[in-house]
Amino acid sequence: MRFPFLYAFTNLGKDDTLLSEKNFVRPFRTRNNKLNTGELKMNNWEKNVRKVEPYTPGEQPKESGIIKLNTNENPYPPSPKVTEVMKNFDTDNLRKYPDPGISILCEAISERYGVNKNQVFVGVGSDDVIAMSFLAFFNSGKPVFFPDITYSFYDVWANLYNIPFERKALDKDMHIKKEDYYGENGGIIFPNPNAPTGLMEDLKDVEDIVKNNPDVVVIVDEAYIDFGGVSALPLVEKYENLLVVQTFSKSRSMAGMRIGYAFGSEKLIKYLNDVKYSFNSYTLTNLAIETGSAAVRDDEYFRKTCESIISTREAAKVRLKELGFSFPDSKANFIFATHKSAYAGDIFEALKKKHIYVRYFNKPLIDNYLRITIGTPEEMERLYEALAEIVG
Ligand code: PMP
């Protein structure tokens, strides 16, 4: 197990005065949800520092000419309407603070999705939306439930806020077992489709989880919903305690602009906004608000690029199978694949040498899998060629 503070304090042994004193780390939960009460020598000021093991984002390599299939970005550019806004953007606007209510973007989203404007929350990527939601909604002291194989930021936020949590094992086919989420808990979060498996749970099962948890907030993280999934958005009208989170980072090709949003009951969204305004009033930049509004209004481009990715993904399923890979049936813009004989870590390294980046998680349960983002058909061809050389 890795303890971040051990890295942080490796210089301590050089100072004998420090070693003569015994200091203790304030107990905190590790990534594996174990309470760490480890003894450690440190300066007094450090004793009350919040110790966290941070999330590790996927690599953003600086080299050019690479094929980047490691962070689930969209291989297509954002809508031309976004480019137009960027070109015409008046930099004089930057003198002013942005609209704290993010009105024009909330309006554009509410029109596109047919909900009331007061049922929309916008943040700096869905990471920000979810982080705010943990802070706002998971305060009972009871454990929050999420799958054992899932987005690896959930336990990081839980640890950051000292929220207890329980990981629920997926079934043998990597699906969520809904009954596991019926016990007493402090809230629920899961991605649908799940990441990194790409598997989609039926809307009926999602509703069962929400229905069985009327006393807590249930968050459905739909970062990858636009690649063939069925959204839980209609359930928001029925369940006051449901928050559905989506993002511009994947299906709208705007990971770099950092725009995430959520749908919920007016009451839920009001609570979330209260926390946001207690944290940072001006979350989105003027440019993000304007380009985001343009992107959400260009539905034709959005549908076209999503369809391209879906068809490339379905083709990838055939090609990867031929190369000896197996995988859950993804409804996302990535495939979570394991090979019948080659070890995932080795394939990952070999691909990297060929300047092709995919994602490898060196973690229990998933250390023999690669998460491969769907690129353009041309990028995927280069991937198959490289894989044929590596595992063929
Ligand atoms: N949820 C899931 C399941 C994700 O994979 C990601 C992408 N890392 C996010 C949320 C956050 O995406 P963003 O902050 O770019 O909207």
Annotate 117-156 with DSSP letters as a single string. GGGEEEESHHHHHHHHHHHHH--SSSPEEEESSS-TTHHH
**CA atoms 123, 129, 135, 139: torsion sign:** positive
Residue 41 Cα to ligand 1 midpoint, Å, equals 37
For residues 150 and 152, give the distance between their C-alpha atoms in angstroms, rounded to a whole number: 6
Residue 222 Cα to ligand 1 midpoint, Å, equals 9
Which DSSP string corresponds to 163-220? --EEEEPP-TTS---GGGGSSS-SEEEEESS-TTT-PPPPHHHHHHHHHT-TTS-EEE
* 336 φ/ψ angles, rounded to the nearest 5 degrees: -105, 100
Residue 103 Cα to ligand 1 midpoint, Å, equals 23
Beta strands at 28-29 and 35-36: parallel, antiparallel or unpaired: antiparallel
pLDDT exceeds cutoff 50 at 269: yes
pLDDT exceeds cutoff 70 at 31: no
Average pLDDT, the chain: 92
Residue 94 Cα to ligand 1 midpoint, Å, equals 27
What's the pLDDT score for residue 8? 33
Looking at 345-349, 363-367, 382-386, which range is the least confident one? 363-367
Which neighbouring-strand residues pair with 339?
A: 325
Which pLDDT tens digit goes with each residue over 97-121?
Answer: 999 999 999 999 999 999 999 999 9
pLDDT exceeds cutoff 70 at 88: yes
What's the pLDDT score for residue 140? 98
Beta strands at 356-360 and 370-373: parallel, antiparallel or unpaired: antiparallel
What's the pLDDT score for residue 1? 34
Q: Is 247 in the pocket of ligand 1 (CB under 6 A)?
A: yes
What's the pLDDT score for residue 163? 98
Looking at 21-35, 76-90, 249-263, which range is the least confident one? 21-35
Given ligand 1 and candidates 56, 126, 243, 359, which is best to mutate, with the most ligand atoms within 8 Å of its CB?
126
Q: Is 193 in the pocket of ligand 1 (CB under 6 A)?
A: no
* Domain 81-297 class in CATH: alpha beta
Which pLDDT tens digit goes with each residue over 192-250?
Answer: 999 999 999 999 999 999 999 999 999 999 999 999 999 999 999 999 999 999 999 99
Show me where the domains of the chain are located: 67-75+300-391, 81-297
Residue 173 has which token pair? 């086919």
- Considering the chain, what percentage of its residues have pLDDT values greater than 70? 90
pLDDT band at 320 (very low <50, low <70, confident <90, very high): very high
CB atoms within 10 A of CB 195: 23
**CA atoms 173, 179, 184, 189: torsion sign:** positive
For residues 276 and 122, give the distance between their C-alpha atoms in angstroms, rounded to a whole number: 10
| Ligand 1 atom nearest residue 255's Cα | 15
pLDDT exceeds cutoff 50 at 22: no
What's the pLDDT score for residue 29? 57
What's the pLDDT score for residue 208? 98
Q: Whose CA is nearest to atom 7 of ligand 1?
A: 223
pLDDT band at 392 (very low <50, low <70, confident <90, very high): confident
Type of residue found at 349: E
Report the predicted TM-score, pTM, of the whole model to 2 decimal places.
0.90
Q: Is 201 in the pocket of ligand 1 (CB under 6 A)?
A: no
Looking at 17-26, 300-309, 336-345, which range is the least confident one? 17-26
For residues 296 and 113, give the distance between their C-alpha atoms in angstroms, rounded to a whole number: 10
Crossing angle of helices 377-391 and 344-353, in 10° steps, is: 120
- Domain 67-75+300-391 and domain 81-297, same fold? Reply is no
Average pLDDT over every residue of 347-373: 97
For residues 391 and 324, the answer to whether their CB atoms sit within 8 Å is yes
Q: Whose CA is nearest to atom 1 of ligand 1?
A: 223
Residue 320 Cα to ligand 1 midpoint, Å, equals 25
| Ligand 1 atom nearest residue 221's Cα | 1
Q: Is 194 in the pocket of ligand 1 (CB under 6 A)?
A: no
Q: Which residue, 287, 232, 273, 303, is CA-closest to 118?
A: 273
Give the residue with greater pLDDT, 158 vs 31: 158
- Say how many CA atoms lie within 13 Å of 194 toward its Cβ: 25
What's the pLDDT score for residue 215? 98
For residues 259 and 25, give the distance between their C-alpha atoms in angstroms, rounded to a whole number: 36
Q: Is 294 in the pocket of ligand 1 (CB under 6 A)?
A: no
What's the pLDDT score for residue 27? 56
* Domain 67-75+300-391 class in CATH: alpha beta
Tell me the CA distances in angstroms from 160 to 132, 155, 336, one per residue in order: 12, 8, 28
368: Cβ contacts below 8 Å, ≥ 6 apart: 338, 339, 343, 344, 345
For residues 357 and 348, give the distance between their C-alpha atoms in angstroms, rounded to a whole number: 8
